[in-house]
Structure 1
């Protein structure tokens, strides 16, 4: 698999969607049930990619997908059981 970034590289894009800092939000993986904070997820994509894909560092299962267009953003979270903050 290609080199990855850490979840911190996705936080700027997520800040445009959420009104709170989600770096320490817990997003358990639906595949292996590992509890990861968003900042610890392995993020793939970059400035020339159509979006960002965040994978579980334990099993590489897709946890979050984020695609941004000029006027819209799509966040798909089916790879996590929940996103909990606090």
Structure 2
């Protein structure tokens, strides 16, 4: 994220396709628990900072990074942060 191209702030629905390409499932309806504050919410409600190189998915309650989708030359990668658990 650079000064020339600031990140857009959107909700978790914006990364549905990116995660679908990596995991093969739509995770926006799943509930994620933040390891930092214990907040449990649908991933569609997360705050996402989005630009050309990454999508940083943050807990809406405490802003810790739950996970990041990195766009690399080879293939997109999912890097987990403070996401303690996912449930239906």
TM-score band by shorter chain is: 0.7 to 0.9
Whether the 8 Å contact between 2:50 and 2:56 is mirrored in structure 1 is yes
Query: Aligned residue for 1:29?
Result: 34
1:23 and 1:3 mapped to 2: Cα distance?
18
Please list every run of 5 or more consecutive structure 1 residues that lacks an aligned counterpart in the other structure.
Answer: none
Which structure shows the bigger proportion of residues in strand conformation? 2
Match of 1:78 among 58, 78, 81: 81
Deviation at 1:57, TM superposition (A): 0.6
> How many matched pairs?
82
Query: In structure 2, what is the Cα distance between the partners aligned to 1:51 and 1:32?
Result: 24
The alignment partner of 1:83 has SS state of strand
Distance across 2 between alignment mates of 1:27 and 1:77: 12
Would the alpha carbon gap of residues 15 and 59 (structure 1) be closer, same or farther in structure 2, given more than 3 Å must change?
same
What is the Cα deviation at residue 69 of structure 1?
A: 2.3
Instruction: Say which structure is richer in helix.
Output: 2
Q: Look up the match of 2:63.
A: 60
Name the Cα RMSD after superposition: 1.6
Query: Aligned-pair distance for 1:71?
Result: 3.1
Write out per-residue CA displacement over residues 4-51 of structure 1, whole angstroms, 9 at most, x where no aligned residue.
2000011110110122221111110111000021111100022xx310
Query: Under a length normalisation based on structure 2, what TM-score does the superposition of the two structures give?
Result: 0.82
